[in-house]
């Protein structure tokens, strides 16, 4: 588990992985026993182009501190062109988040092929480190979801 | 009569803020004002035409009503309400002051809305006479005297300061400990200031709306008027008018899953929205014409019909100022007020 | 509420060593909708599967979650198990707690916690799964090959050989394509016609092959396994069923000055003609642009001489509609226009020719009967200059950005043949690079240099100026000598770029097959699916996919045929049920989805909607053909209204997973 | 100009070319004009206006109007024409039912600007040369026209109509873009913290009245995701700062590549939030990363988010920008 | 990228890295025989960063700026603009050493194309 040693902060990280390359790459890093932090939780999607920007915002809203999207390398998409659209959408989304003053390091896009198990693990390690260093996501969080929020009064048992 | 000189306002507000939260209008940007919590150094705006109304303090845009928590396979209910603190809203003009009476008729009628009631009990209204009404003001049509607003404490503005009058017990309890910051003046000054206000109000361009054509019992005459189609044509169906309106009180109740519990909250809704009356089995108001008609019929016919003739509009003019396409209640009243034969 | 079963696999110790599988099963068992939660050493084993099947039946489960290895490993196993117990196979979700948990984490508490979370996410997803049924569609057992060049011919022959009927649509009056115009072929220098014409004849004689010559594709509809194609049969004013190809009409026709396109305009033909002696079908056609009878009703000579009464001046275009299971694009190439490069004086001098024109000038059946003569004066050329890369390898504003691939080799061939036949001729080749990857290719061009004494000059030609004496002044650079040269040439041959057929773009639109910016068809995968278009049921053969020489074209044509045969040999096509679908009530008809769909699976139609207030409203709405959609989901994000969603990976399912993982 | 338009509209009504006319209708105070459909010459004579306060973009109404029977005459300012064209590209308007007349625009005044200049109680406005003369409850006031111009008009992108059936007045030209992105530039140059504070300050005022969305000519969804309980995004009031950001990010994203920068969102915002700066950021990014693109330029172009080039920039370009 | 190369690339706007070494510019050049470095070498040397060699060479004054190479370059490298940029750098470095119109008659040479002289005068007189 990636932890920020100074603050004790344990980040929550969501990784969207395309089924054909990156998810397979993640499997490969498992097969090769290449470690990466347990903070990283993977969601399988058919193609990186399936990832709607709203999923990423949703993840942040629900408490993610970092979101990473992995797909096939441009040109290698199982569906020929999917990741090209992903690339444009995500570039614009990242730019917009940055423009809104939201830490741009919290969102990342990486191309990981099915053969790049080592790259997958390395990418996840570095991403988790970066997010741990950044601290909790405060600029794009839903306060209602914050774990430390007061819970209200429990009515007396009747 | 108590008189507060303008230069003493800060001291007055500072003292008042010791016992309660205090909300005052401030200039948020040139030509616009909005309510903010007063803190030392806050510059109070002389412009009373806040973009949003003082309704927000009693009937906030969103409010948690209840929570549910699933523990294993059982559900537990949580009441999210904390103790409400006392607060006061300063600089409420006559129209807005009147709006609380209208909201009360909705929320305090049986069954009482305890969330609203709680806030009403803890909230004090420090109203203020108008000295510089806008061209969009038309409160006079509804029998509102801009010079003598309702509320707990009335501030009558003479340009250099304010004559203060407690109108309720709560108002008196608020004002008494602050009396030492005020001086005593001849009430004639207050009367003169009020006359000044009335004189300006008399010159307003929208004083002669055909109010008589509306009111309880007019449903049959007005409901099927063909003008509704033409009036509603431009309406884009946004909720601006309803959200800036001091008397609109419709809300929706929704659930939000925080991951640990379900929050049941309510939030403002607008009769202008297409899903406003959507329910199992369909939607009785299918087009914008019907939704548009509803809003004005509610304010001008149904509300007075159910509430002893009182209109659901106070003439604050906010919808005139903020409607994106400038189709507002004044245009509606004028058009429908035209004699049908003239058509 | 749905009843969910959770099954946690130990995978021996693969999972159990790092994940407390009992704790996982127990914790997930407390989730509100979970009615049974079990762990087992090997879920994928027969007894593990039986445990799942029994639970499905005993508890009446609506969905199951397997916490095990990667879904890429055993998703299908568990889906089949579920199906055999009567549960829809798409009501199965896998939580990958091996590759993505136990194998990469060492701390047992951490790994257990993560496994629980992954399990919860899978439960959240399966609660929103819907039973899916893969659609089935029939396959029409007939293929269409568009283009009758060597690519189309080879593909058609291979398909026909496998026993499936196949139609060839060729826009020219004969099949054969470019290869029929070539003289010899590299690197073996065998005669092109000798190896091609038997294949053409095979096509004509194969009972499974039907040739629509002088025909074009008018429209295409349908999808893989079931296309409907409308073919326009252009009027040739000769009754195909009667014409014997005797050629009498072509001898008697008085209109003699029609440029002969088969010889690239180097000589003339008549207004009624048979393109060449070995044409298939060998049927005459009347050129309506030149025929006096068709132009002004005066003549009728051919009709008079025809012994079988095949001439029909009243013939009109006819249409044939046919259904196909697969369509092959084999539209080939054309020679790019070289007249735009003024410096080569192509328009100024008849003695500047393209390589294809040279083929005809050297061909025994060509205008010169196989003797190489200058087009201008019919004299024997003594100095010949070849210019490489004319219009290839340019920036897009100046020409084609790609390498045309075949020029290096055919130029070596030309140079060699000329030197062999006319040893008194000096041959110069201006080259930028000589590209000869291929079996016996480099050896071939080395022979041209070493054995045949062809002068290869590293450099380019800057200007060609016709001189009054009929020679051409070729000004070029020799980069190795750092010299500017002037060669006095009798003939200049330009290795013009090849480009896809001009008709390919409109065809691609009809086929909803994608194209690159150069108008070459794009393949479904550049490495792994090189003969298929991304649009299911559309296959690519030959140069229409990219520059190729003959052996490569034939190889690809056969590969393409194998793919077609594979498709046609199926009785039913089972679709992937995880496809996109559009909610018509929300669709705006904006075309965003169709713009990103790589398969052309989305079509639009104006649809009438009955509004709740009893009025009707006509709106343009999208429809996804489930037989064509491959389920990538690009459309779901392109859709602004959220009308487009993906079965199996719906917005709500993915968001439920997100919520569960972030909790 | 107003009379010219009325005359032409009357002619086209009379000769049967059109059955209706969409334009702007006189209001109470001369600044509060309303988009309206006119059916007769008398209505046009009586209420049609075209002056410096006709900022409302009428193109979106044509979705509804063009679905009706009969042809409608639409007077389109350059901004409206770009929106109109974009809607044509998205098949939202039935072109055959619209007779589009391009009309010149010298920039539209914004009553908000006049109010923020400290002039209140405005009851009447008259143009006098380069000034507006305002009669107010508190005496006569004057303001230079340029000081009353809406922000979007100060950085007008084009006086040209990309589509029309007929043009009244001279055709204008595209104007240089330099000033249009100044505010975006300025924000980009701030630190992330400053940008965050800026946007939080702006977006926290949002009352989720949907005026920006409902007026937007790009937001024409049959059912908006924010109204659709099944979308997972549905929200009625921004109950949390996250929802405020979410709404505006998603809205800007949904119109990215389709937004013609008509500026209506900012014009109608009752809280005066500079929403156009979100859209303009996307326009700027698209221009810089994928080549100059103007939505509504023609009805055939593919929007940059549904096209690509193999050599497109990687998302990491955002990370590599040299700021904290 | 060294400074001189940078300047040439910036001033010319030429993308020398696009050159595929076909030699068409040199094949086309009417001043070829007079040049020590030929158009393709200009491009090559600039790409290598060897601009000094060019600055020292008379070749920069032999280019007629006829733009035949620009017109015909299949890769859009625009060699004449490269030559022009190198020439401009040389001219600027020469500072006050300008050609005056009065010097012209003495320099006039029947073999020198008038256009070259006019170009030189324009550059020098600036």
Query: Model confidence over C350-385: pLDDT tens digits?
Result: 999 999 999 999 999 999 999 999 999 999 999 999
Q: Which pair of tokens denotes residue A118?
A: 């080592």
pLDDT in tens, C270-320: 999 999 999 999 999 999 999 999 999 999 999 999 999 999 999 999 999
Q: How confident is the model at residue B343 (pLDDT cuts 50, 70, 90)?
A: very low
Torsion of CA C285, C287, C290, C291, to 10 degrees: 40
Distance CA D14, CA C479 (A): 76
Q: With CB atoms and an 8 Å threshold, state whether C662 touches A36.
A: no
Strand partners, A117: none
Residue A154 has pLDDT above 70, yes or no: no
Contact D34/B326, CB-based, under 8 Å?
Answer: yes
**First-residue to last-residue Cα distance in chain B:** 55
pLDDT at residue B167, rounded to an integer: 96
pLDDT at E1 over 60: no
Is the per-residue pLDDT at A80 higher than 90? no
From B78's Cα to the closest Cα of chain C, the distance in A is 19
Distance CA D65, CA D75 (A): 13
- What CATH code would you report for E3-97? 1.10.1060.10
Q: Is the dihedral of CA D319, D321, E3, E9 positive or negative?
A: positive
Instruction: Return the pLDDT at D324.
Output: 40
Neighbours of chain C (3+ CB pairs under 8 A): A, B, D, E
From the CB coordinates, do chains D and E have 3 or more pairs under 8 Å? Answer: no
C361 three-class SS: helix
Say what the pLDDT of residue C133 is.
92
- Residue C633 sits in the same domain as residue C555: no
Say yes or no for a CB contact (<8 Å) between B282 and C659.
no
Question: Which range of residues forms the domain containing residue A66?
Answer: 13-142
Cα separation, B322 vs B236, in Å, equals 13
d(CA D81, CA D260): 10
What's the average model confidence in pLDDT over B176-203?
93
Q: Given this model, what pLDDT does residue C617 score?
A: 85
CA distance A158 to chain C (A): 25
Q: Do B267 and D236 touch (CB under 8 A)?
A: yes
Q: Give the C-alpha separation, E65 to C190, whole Å.
A: 50
Q: Quick check: C611 pLDDT over 80?
A: no
Tell me how far apart the alpha carbons of residues D41 and C29 are, in angstroms, rounded to a whole number.
Answer: 75
- Which of chain C's residues have a Cβ under 8 Å away from the Cβ of E25? 462, 477
* Residue contact B282–C611, C-beta within 8 A: no
pLDDT digits (tens, 9 = 90+) for D54-96: 999 999 999 999 999 999 999 999 999 999 999 999 999 999 9
Cα(D33)–Cα(D78) distance, integer angstroms: 19
Token pair, residue C347, equals: 């328009």
What average pLDDT does range C179-194 have in this prediction? Answer: 93
Question: Do the Cβ atoms of C386 and C415 come closer than 8 Å?
Answer: yes
Min Cα separation B121/chain A (Å): 21
Are the beta carbons of B263 and A63 separated by less than 8 Å? Answer: no
pLDDT(C437) > 80: yes
- Whole-number Cα distances in Å, B70 to B73, B141, C65, C656, D305: 7, 53, 21, 17, 42
Q: C25: part of which helix (H) or strand (E)?
A: helix C21-29
d(CA B211, CA B310): 11
Question: Which stretches of chain C sit within 8 Å of chain B by CB?
Answer: 30, 32, 611-613, 659, 662-663
Q: Is the peptide bond before C187 cis (omega within 30 degrees of 0)?
A: yes
Of C576 and D89, the one with more pLDDT: D89
Among C513, C547, C568, the domain boundary falls at C568
> Is the bond preceding D319 in cis, omega lying within 30 degrees of 0?
no
pLDDT tens for each residue of D162-205: 999 999 988 888 888 878 999 999 999 999 999 999 999 999 99
Q: Please give the helix or strand (H or E) that residue D249 lies within, else none.
A: helix D241-255
Mutate to test the interface with D, among C641, C660, C662 (most CBs of D within 10 A): C641
Per-residue pLDDT reduced to its tens digit, B244-302? 999 999 999 999 988 888 999 999 999 999 889 988 888 889 889 999 999 999 999 99
Q: Is the pLDDT of residue E116 over 90?
A: no
- The chains found to touch D (3+ Cβ pairs under 8 angstroms) are A, B, C
- The pLDDT, as a whole number, for residue E117 is 64
Q: Which of B200, B44, C285 is nearest to D137 (CA)?
A: B200
Q: What is the pLDDT of residues D248-274, one digit of tens each?
A: 999 999 999 999 999 999 999 999 999
CB-closest option in C32, C611, C659 to B73: C32
Which residue among A26, A45, A75 sits closest to C99, beta carbon to beta carbon?
Answer: A26
Residues B225 and B189 in one domain: no
E39-48 vs E3-12: helix crossing angle, rounded to 10: 130
Residue C240 lies in a domain: no
- Assess whether C513 and C529 both reside in one domain: yes
Cβ atoms of C508 and C402 closer than 8 Å = no
The Cα C159–Cα C195 span in angstroms is: 19
DSSP E75-119: T---HHHHHHHHHHHHHHHHTT----GGGHHHH--TTS-HHHHHH
Other beta carbons within 10 Å of B202: 9
Which of C2, C26, C27, C32 best tests the B interface by mutation, with the highest count of B CBs <10 A? C32
C67-120 tens-digit pLDDT: 999 998 899 999 999 999 999 999 999 999 999 999 999 999 999 999 999 999
For residue C131, tell me if it sits in a domain.
no
Question: Domain range for residue B111?
Answer: 2-202
pLDDT in tens, D18-63: 999 999 998 888 899 999 999 999 999 999 999 889 999 999 999 9
CA–CA distance, D240 with B100 (Å, rounded to integer): 26
In the prediction, which pLDDT does C165 show?
97
Residue contacts between A and C (CB atoms, under 8 Å) = 140
A72, part of any domain: yes
Query: What φ, ψ does residue C568 adopt, rounded to 5°?
Result: -70, -20
Q: In what order do the strands lie in the sheet with C472-478?
A: C461-466, C472-478, C483-489
Q: Which of B31, B205, B322 lies nearest to residue D116, judging by beta carbons?
A: B31
> Given C514, C537, C568, which residue is the final one in a domain?
C568
| Positive or negative: CA dihedral C342, C346, C351, C352 | positive
Q: Do C586 and D90 touch (CB under 8 A)?
A: no
* Residue of chain A minimizing CA distance to B64: A152
| Residue A83: closest C-alpha in chain D | D308
Q: What's the domain count of chain B?
A: 2
* Beta carbons of C439 and C451 less than 8 angstroms apart: no
Q: Are strands B262-268 and B62-71 parallel, antiparallel or unpaired?
A: antiparallel
Q: Is the pLDDT of residue D207 over 70?
A: yes
Give the pLDDT of residue A158: 33
Interface of A with C in 67-106 (CB under 8 A): 75, 78-82, 85, 89
Looking at the structure of chain A, the number of domains it has is 1
Q: What is the ipTM of this complex?
A: 0.84
| Together in a domain, C273 and C183 | no
**CB–CB contact D90 C595 (8 Å):** no
Q: Give the integer Cα–Cα distance in Å for C156 and D130.
A: 77
pLDDT score recorded for residue A156? 40
Look at C426 and C614; give whichever has higher pLDDT.
C426
Evaluate whether residue B26 is within a structural domain. yes
D286-D290-D293-D296 Cα dihedral, nearest 10 degrees: -80
Quote the CA–CA distance of A27 and A86 in Å, as a whole number. 22
Predicted structure pTM score: 0.78
Q: What is the CATH number of the domain that holds A36?
A: 3.40.50
Residue A8 lies in a domain: no
Does residue A103 register a pLDDT over 80?
Answer: yes
Instruction: Output DSSP code: residue D226.
Output: T
Q: Does residue B339 lie in a domain region?
A: no
Asked if residue B340 belongs to a domain, the reply is no
Q: Which of D190, D241, D305 sits opposite A88 (nearest CB)?
A: D305
Residue E98's pLDDT is what? 60
Indicate the domain borders of chain E.
3-97
B145 shares a domain with B39: yes
Mutate to test the interface with C, among A12, A34, A38, A75 (most CBs of C within 10 A): A38
DSSP C362-428: H-TTSTTTT----TTT-PPPSEEEEEEEESSS--TTTS-SS--SSHHHHHHHHHHHHHHH-TT-EEE
Same domain membership, residue C451 and residue C522? no
Of B202, B230, B250, the one marking the end of a domain is B202
Instruction: State the pLDDT at residue E121.
Output: 58
In-domain check, residue B44:
yes
Instruction: Identify the CATH number of the domain in which residue C437 sits.
Output: 3.50.50.60
B90 & B194 share domain: yes
Chain C contact set for B73 (CB, 8 A): 30, 32
Q: How does residue A23 score in pLDDT terms, banded at 50, 70 and 90?
A: very high
- For B319, the token pair is 């919808």
Q: Which of B235, B254, B255, B251 is nearest to B243 (CA)?
A: B251
Contacts of B282 in chain C (CB under 8 A): 612
Q: How many angstroms separate the first and last alpha carbons of chain E? A: 29
* Set of chain B residues whose Cβ sits within 8 Å of the Cβ of C30: 72-73
Pairing of strands C472-478, C461-466: antiparallel
Minimum CA–CA partner of B74 in chain C:
C32
Measured CA angle at C340 (ends C338, C345), to 5 deg: 70
| Residues of chain B contacting residue C35, judged by C-beta atoms under 8 Å apart | none
Residues in A touching B79 (Cβ below 8 Å): 152-155
Q: Name which residue leads in pLDDT, C359 or E107.
A: C359
Residues on chain D touching B322 (C-beta within 8 angstroms): 211, 270
Asked whether residue A44 is domain-assigned, the answer is yes
CA B184 to chain centre: 32
Q: Is the pLDDT of residue A153 over 60?
A: no
CA C75 vs CA A44, B62, C78, C94: distances in Å? 13, 45, 5, 7
**What is the token pair recorded at C586?**
């929300």
Q: Residue C663 and residue B283: Cβ atoms within 8 Å? A: no
CB contact under 8 A, B259 and C32: no
Nearest chain D CA: its distance from B36 CA (Å): 12
Nearest to D318 among A75, A91, A144 (CB): A91
Cα of A152 vs its chain's centroid, Å: 31
Q: B129 is written with which tokens?
A: 């006479």
Please state the φ and ψ torsions of residue B166, each to the nearest 5 degrees: -85, 130
**Contact between C661 and A12 using a beta-carbon 8 Å cutoff:** yes
B78 contacts A62? CB cut-off 8 A? no
Tally the domains of chain C: 5
CA distance D304 to chain B (A): 28
A154 contacts B64? CB cut-off 8 A = no
Q: How many CB pairs under 8 A join A and B?
A: 32
| In a domain? residue C322 | yes
**CA-only gyration radius of chain D, Å:** 21
Range of the domain at C624: 580-647
Whether the per-residue pLDDT at A137 is higher than 80: the answer is yes
The pLDDT mean for chain C works out to: 94
Q: Where do the DSSP E strands lie in C559-601? A: 572-574, 580-582
* Buried/exposed C202-213: b ≥16 CB within 10 Å, e otherwise: bbeebebbbbbb
Cβ <8 Å between A42 and C100: yes
Residue D323: pLDDT band (50, 70, 90) is: very low
CA nearest to D203 within chain A:
A100
């Amino acid at each position: 588990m990636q932890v920020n040693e100074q603050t004790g902060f344990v980040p929550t990280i969501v990784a969207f992985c395309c089924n054909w390359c990156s998810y397979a790459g993640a499997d490969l890093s498992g097969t090769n026993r290449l470690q990466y932090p347990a903070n990283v939780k993977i969601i399988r999607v058919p193609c990186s182009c399936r990832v709607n920007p709203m999923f990423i915002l949703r993840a942040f809203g629900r408490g993610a501190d970092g979101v990473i999207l992995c797909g096939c390398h441009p040109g290698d998409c199982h569906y020929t062109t999917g990741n090209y659209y992903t690339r444009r959408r995500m570039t614009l989304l990242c730019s917009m988040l940055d423009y809104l003053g939201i830490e741009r390091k919290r969102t990342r896009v990486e191309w990981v092929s099915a053969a790049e198990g080592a790259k997958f693990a390395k990418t996840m390690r570095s991403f988790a480190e970066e997010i741990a260093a950044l601290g909790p996501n405060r600029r794009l969080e839903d306060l209602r979801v914050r774990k430390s929020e007061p819970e209200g009064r429990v009515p007396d048992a009747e | 009569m108590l008189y507060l000189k303008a230069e003493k306002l800060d001291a007055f507000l500072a003292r008042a803020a010791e016992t309660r939260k205090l909300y005052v209008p401030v200039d948020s940007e040139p030509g616009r004002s909005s309510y903010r919590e007063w803190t030392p150094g806050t510059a109070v705006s002389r412009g009373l035409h806040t973009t949003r109304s003082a309704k927000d303090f009693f009937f906030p845009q969103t409010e948690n009503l209840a929570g549910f928590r699933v523990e294993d396979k059982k559900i537990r209910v949580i009441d999210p309400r904390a103790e409400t603190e006392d607060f006061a809203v300063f600089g409420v003009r006559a129209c807005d002051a009147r709006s609380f009476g209208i909201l009360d008729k909705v929320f305090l009628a049986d069954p009482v809305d305890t969330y609203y009631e709680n806030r009403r009990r803890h909230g004090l209204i420090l109203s203020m006479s108008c000295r510089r009404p806008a061209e969009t003001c038309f409160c006079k049509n509804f029998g509102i005297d801009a010079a003598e607003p309702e509320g707990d404490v009335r501030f009558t503005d003479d340009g250099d300061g304010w004559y203060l009058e407690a109108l309720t017990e709560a108002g008196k309890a608020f004002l008494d400990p602050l009396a030492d910051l005020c001086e005593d003046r001849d009430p004639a000054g207050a009367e003169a200031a009020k006359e000044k206000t009335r004189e300006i109000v008399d010159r307003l361009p929208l004083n002669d709306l055909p109010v008589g054509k509306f009111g309880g019992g007019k449903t049959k005459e007005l409901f099927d008027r063909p003008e509704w189609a033409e009036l509603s044509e431009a309406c884009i169906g946004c909720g601006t008018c309803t959200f800036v309106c001091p008397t609109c009180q419709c809300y929706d109740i929704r659930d939000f899953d925080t991951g640990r519990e379900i929050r049941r909250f309510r939030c403002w809704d607008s009769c202008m929205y297409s899903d406003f009356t959507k329910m199992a089995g369909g939607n009785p108001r299918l087009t914008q014409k019907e939704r548009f008609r509803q809003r004005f019929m509610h304010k001008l016919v149904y509300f007075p019909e159910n509430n002893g003739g009182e209109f659901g509009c106070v003439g604050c003019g906010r919808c005139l100022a903020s409607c994106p396409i400038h189709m507002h209640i004044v245009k509606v009243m004028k058009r429908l007020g035209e004699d049908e034969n003239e058509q | 509420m749905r009843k969910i079963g959770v099954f946690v696999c130990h995978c021996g110790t693969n999972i159990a060593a790092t994940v407390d599988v009992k704790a996982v099963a127990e914790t997930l068992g407390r989730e509100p909708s979970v009615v049974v939660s079990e762990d087992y050493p090997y879920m994928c084993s027969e007894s593990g599967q039986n445990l799942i099947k029994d639970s499905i039946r005993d508890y009446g489960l609506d969905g199951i979650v397997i916490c095990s290895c990667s879904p890429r490993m055993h998703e299908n196993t568990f889906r089949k198990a579920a199906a055999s117990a009567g549960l829809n196979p798409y009501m199965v979700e896998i939580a990958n707690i091996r590759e993505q948990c136990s194998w990469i984490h060492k701390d047992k508490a951490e790994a257990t916690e993560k496994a629980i979370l992954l399990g919860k996410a899978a439960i959240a997803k399966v609660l929103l799964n819907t039973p899916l049924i893969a659609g089935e569609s029939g396959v029409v057992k007939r293929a269409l090959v568009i283009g009758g060049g060597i690519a189309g011919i080879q593909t058609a022959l291979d398909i026909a050989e496998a026993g499936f009927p196949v139609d060839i649509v060729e826009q020219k009056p004969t099949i054969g394509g470019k290869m029929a115009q070539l003289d010899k072929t590299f690197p073996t220098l065998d005669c092109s016609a000798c190896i091609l014409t038997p294949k053409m004849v095979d096509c004509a004689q194969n009972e499974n092959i039907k040739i629509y010559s002088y025909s074009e594709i008018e429209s295409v509809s349908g999808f893989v396994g079931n296309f409907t194609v409308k073919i326009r049969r252009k009027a040739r004013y000769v009754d195909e069923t009667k014409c014997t190809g005797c050629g009498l009409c072509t001898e008697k026709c008085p209109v003699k000055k029609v440029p002969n396109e088969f010889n690239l305009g180097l000589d003339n033909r008549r207004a009624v003609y048979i393109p060449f002696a070995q044409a298939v079908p060998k049927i005459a056609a009347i050129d309506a642009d030149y025929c006096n009878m068709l132009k002004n009703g005066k003549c009728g000579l051919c009709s008079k001489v025809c012994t079988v009464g095949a001439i029909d001046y009243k013939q009109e275009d006819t249409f044939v509609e046919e259904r196909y299971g697969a369509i092959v694009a084999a539209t080939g190439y054309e020679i790019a226009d070289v007249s735009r490069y003024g410096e080569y004086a192509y328009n100024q001098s008849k003695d500047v020719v393209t390589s294809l024109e040279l083929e005809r000038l050297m061909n025994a059946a060509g205008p010169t009967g196989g003797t190489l003569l200058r087009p201008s004066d019919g004299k024997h050329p003594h100095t010949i200059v070849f210019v490489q890369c004319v219009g290839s390898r340019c920036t897009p504003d100046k020409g084609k950005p790609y390498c045309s691939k075949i020029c290096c080799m055919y130029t070596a061939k030309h140079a060699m043949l000329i030197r062999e036949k006319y040893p008194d001729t000096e041959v110069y080749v201006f080259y930028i690079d000589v590209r000869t990857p291929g079996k016996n290719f480099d050896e071939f061009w080395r022979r041209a240099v070493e054995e045949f004494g062809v002068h290869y000059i590293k450099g380019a030609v800057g200007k060609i100026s016709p001189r009054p004496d009929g020679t051409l002044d070729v000004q070029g650079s020799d980069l190795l000598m750092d010299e500017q040269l002037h060669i006095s040439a009798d003939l200049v041959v330009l290795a013009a770029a090849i480009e896809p057929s001009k008709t390919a773009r409109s065809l691609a639109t009809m086929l909803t097959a994608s194209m690159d910016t150069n108008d070459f068809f794009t393949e479904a995968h550049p490495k792994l699916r090189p003969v298929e278009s991304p649009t299911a049921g559309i296959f690519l053969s030959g140069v229409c996919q990219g520059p190729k020489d003959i052996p490569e074209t034939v190889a690809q044509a056969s590969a393409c045929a194998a793919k077609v045969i594979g498709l046609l040999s199926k009785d039913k096509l089972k679709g992937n049920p995880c496809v996109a679908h559009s909610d018509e009530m929300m669709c705006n008809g904006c075309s965003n989805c169709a713009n990103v769909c790589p398969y052309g699976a989305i079509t639009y139609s104006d649809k009438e909607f009955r509004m709740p207030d009893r009025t009707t409203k006509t709106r343009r709405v999208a429809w996804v053909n489930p037989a064509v959609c491959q389920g990538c989901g690009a459309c779901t994000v392109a859709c602004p209204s959220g009308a487009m969603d993906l079965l199996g990976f719906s917005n709500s399912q993915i968001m439920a997973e997100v919520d569960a993982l972030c909790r | 100009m107003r009379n010219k338009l009325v005359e032409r509209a009357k002619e086209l009504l009379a000769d049967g070319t059109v059955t209706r006319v969409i334009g702007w209708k006189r209001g109470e105070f001369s600044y509060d004009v309303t988009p309206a459909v006119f059916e007769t010459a008398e209505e046009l004579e009586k209420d049609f206006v075209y002056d410096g306060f006709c900022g409302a973009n009428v193109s979106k109404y044509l979705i509804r109007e063009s679905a009706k029977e009969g042809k409608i005459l639409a007077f389109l300012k350059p901004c409206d024409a770009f929106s109109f064209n974009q809607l044509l590209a998205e098949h939202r308007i039935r072109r055959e039912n619209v007779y589009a007349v391009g009309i010149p625009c010298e920039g539209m005044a914004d009553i908000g600007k006049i109010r923020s200049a400290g002039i209140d109680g405005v009851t009447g406005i008259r143009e006098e040369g380069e000034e507006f003369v305002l009669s107010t409850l508190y005496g006569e006031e004057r303001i230079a026209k340029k000081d009353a111009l809406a922000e979007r008009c100060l950085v007008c992108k084009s006086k040209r109509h990309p589509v029309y059936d007929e043009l009244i007045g001279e055709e204008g030209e595209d104007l240089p873009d330099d000033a249009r992105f100044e505010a975006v530039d300025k924000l980009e140059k701030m630190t992330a913290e400053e940008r965050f504070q800026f946007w939080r300050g702006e977006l926290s005022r949002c009352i989720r009245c949907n005026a920006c969305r409902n007026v937007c000519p790009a937001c024409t969804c049959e059912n908006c995701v924010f109204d659709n309980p099944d979308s997972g995004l549905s929200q009625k009031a921004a109950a949390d700062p996250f929802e405020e950001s979410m709404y505006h990010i998603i809205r800007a994203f949904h119109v990215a590549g389709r937004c013609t920068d008509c500026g209506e969102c900012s014009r109608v915002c009752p809280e005066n939030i500079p929403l156009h700066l979100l859209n303009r950021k996307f326009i700027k990014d698209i221009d810089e990363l994928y080549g100059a693109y103007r939505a509504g330029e023609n009805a055939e172009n593919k929007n940059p988010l549904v096209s690509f080039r193999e050599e497109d920039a990687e998302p990491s370009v955002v990370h590599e920008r040299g700021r904290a | 990228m060294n400074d001189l190369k940078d300047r040439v690339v910036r001033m010319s706007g030429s993308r020398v890295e696009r050159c595929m070494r076909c030699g068409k510019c040199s094949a086309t050049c009417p001043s070829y025989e007079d040049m020590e470095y030929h158009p393709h070498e200009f491009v090559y040397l600039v790409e290598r960063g060897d601009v000094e060699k060019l600055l020292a060479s008379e070749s920069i004054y032999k280019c007629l700026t006829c733009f035949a190479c620009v017109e015909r370059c299949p890769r859009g490298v625009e060699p004449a603009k490269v030559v022009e940029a190198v020439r401009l750098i040389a001219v600027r470095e020469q500072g006050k050493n300008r050609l005056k119109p009065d010097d012209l008659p003495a320099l006039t040479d029947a073999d020198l194309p008038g256009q070259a002289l006019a170009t030189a005068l324009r550059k020098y007189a600036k």
